[in-house]
Every structure is written in C-alpha cells, then in structure tokens.
Amino acid sequence: MKDDSFRGVYPALTTPFRPDLSLDVEGYARLTDAVIRDGVHGIVVNGCTGESWSLTAEERKTVFETAVKAAAGRVPVVAGASGQSAAEALAKIRQAADAGCEIAMVSPPWYVIPGPEEILEHYRKILAATPLPVLLYNIPRRTCVSFDVATVDRLADHPKVIGIKESSKDWGLLSSIIRRTRDRISVFAGYASFFGLAALCEGAVGYIDSGTPVFGAKSVAFHKAATTGDLETARALQADMERMLAAYFGLGTFPASIKAALDLLGRPGGPTRDPIRPLDDAQRASLRKVMMASGLIEQRAA
C-alpha cells in the first residue's frame, strides 16, 4: 500500500570495515550521520552495496541497530532482508524490525532462478508474516531473475507491499512498472545517474542508489531540480553524476570504487571483504582525477 511520505533520495550505504576486516561500527555511525546531513530523505542498509553477503547474523544485527541509532528518527531506515527462502528472509526482517528499521527491502532469491509463479509464492509467504512493510527489489544482475510487469502488478495490490526499487537497467520495464503501479505503490528507480530524471518525470517517487553517499548534496540538488521543474539544472547535474558513476563501475569490483571514493572524501569507506579486492594505487589515482574534475575533491588533495 502506497505511503505518500515514502519518497525522495535514499542512498544505499556501504558497510565500513577496519583494516582487519572487522565491522567498523563507529565508522558506520559516522557515515550514516554524514549522508543524513547531506539532506537525503532516508537510507538503505544491508543491500548489495553494503556487502550484505559477507555479514554474519550478528554483524547484520549490529548494522541495523547502528543505523537506527545514528539516524535518530531523522529519516527512515530501510533494511535489506533478502533470502534464499521465505523463512530466511523473514528471519532477517524480524531482526530489522527488532532494531527499529521501518521498511524491509526484499529481492527474489538468487542462484535458484525461480519462475514467475515461484517468485510470487515466495513473496506471498513473506507478506503473510512480515512485521514490516516490504519494498520489492528487482536486481536481475545479482539474482539472475527479473520481475515482469504482471507479477509486480499482482503484488502491488497487497497491503504490505509499500513499493519497489527497480534496478534492471531496462527503461522499458521501469517505465511500464511506474505507469502500471504508481497509484498503489511507491516506485523508486535504481541507477539514478542514468534514469533518475526520466523516471521522476514518468512518475517515480524517488531513487535509491549507491552514488549518493559520494555525490552528497549534489544528488539532493538534482532531485530537487527534477521535481520542481528546473530541468536545465537537473540535466546538468545528472550528466555530471553519470560521468562519475561510469568511472566507478569501470574500476574494480563493486563496491570497491565507492568505498575508495568515500575514503578520498574523508568519509568512512574502508576495505572490501574477500573475494573483492580494494582498488590498487593506479585505480585510486584514476578515481581521484575523476573526482577532482567533478569538484568533489580539490586539486590540493592530490
């Protein structure tokens, strides 16, 4: 069921680790506070940007609790809570609810490659027992399956479904989902640096992306321009963010470049967990040049 307050810019947070790869709780709190101070409307934790696959159950609990405590009621906290089975997803959702998170983001199971009816049944089991509203999450690059419009249309009628994050990189699918379901659920675009302006004009309520913790207030300014009719400013800001995001995805394995960019900004980034390698010196130098060209860091930082 659509909640008109659930809209705007929701950055997907990385998970800071210490040099020994243990969870950097203090760094996580500082990163959460920093992005909220940028003016975002909510945060997303424990998604693929947050290396959720690498976290133990206890670490995930700590991430949820730390984010909620650091947010301190200023913005909603959306918790990534996907699972191979409905039971696994529900265990994560209950953990998020106990920590004080407001919404659970749930993708279809990965690796299994279920069909449309199996995906529908997976969500029906979750929706029958979830203590939190559910944000559907379409990320076929990670799961190897994609929602079709008909499945989203059917799920949009369930009162526990609050929205969808559509990250297929398929504009036709995103546009169709917006037009078919925007009266019932909140549609958020992924890859905002590529599709943000078009999606917002089509009727999406906002976007969830991994670049915003780096772009900072620039991302929030883009959203404001796009939603207030200042299309010239919105186009220019999106073009700048797209250039940067293209550079990120060309360096290392995601989210190593995002974490390196945060380090360059003086925000908690830290290393990635195995098997993902941090950027090497040459890659960091390339990233630094892109960030200087975009005005995110000054020349003297080189």
Catalytic residues: 137, 165
Radius of gyration of the chain (CA): 18
CB 51 within 8 A of CB 271: no
- Peptide bond preceding 114 in cis form (omega within 30 of 0): no
Find where tokens 């559907």 sit: 136
Which of 273-299 are b and which e, b meaning 16 or more Cβ less than 10 Å from the residue's Cβ? eeeeebbeeebbebbbebbbebebbee
**For 18-87, where are the E strands, in sequence order?**
43-45, 77-80
Distances (CA, A) of 241 to 24, 31, 185: 28, 20, 27
Give the integer Cα–Cα distance in Å for 268 and 153. Answer: 39
Closest by CA to 23, choosing from 240, 300, 271, 211, is 271
The SS3 of residue 297 is coil
**71 phi-psi bin (left φ>0, alpha ψ -120 to 50, beta other):** alpha
CB 300 within 8 A of CB 288: no
